[in-house]
Amino acid sequence: MGHKEQEVYAIREGKQSHYDQRLILKVVKEVEAGLPRKEANRIYGLGKSCLYNWMRK
């Protein structure tokens, strides 16, 4: 079986720290491509307002 390579992003240290910019871009592109926002929040462990603000930018 093929092994899918997974990208590693910087882990947030606390609730006030920032997400990795590469992760933000990846999530936004996936949502724009058709991934439901609720599903993206569940997969990446994001809050509702976090993803909403990313999409607004």
Give the contacts of 12 (CB within 8 A, at least 6 positions apart). 18, 19
Q: Is the pTM of this model over 0.75?
A: no
* Secondary structure letter of residue 14 according to DSSP: S
Q: Tell me, what's the pLDDT at 16? A: 60
Q: Tell me, what's the pLDDT at 32? A: 95
Mean pLDDT, rounded, for 14-23: 77
Rounded Cα gap, residues 11 and 20, in angstroms: 8
Rounded Cα gap, residues 33 and 38, in angstroms: 14
pLDDT in tens, 23-48: 899 999 999 999 999 999 999 888 88
pLDDT over 90 at 12, yes or no = no
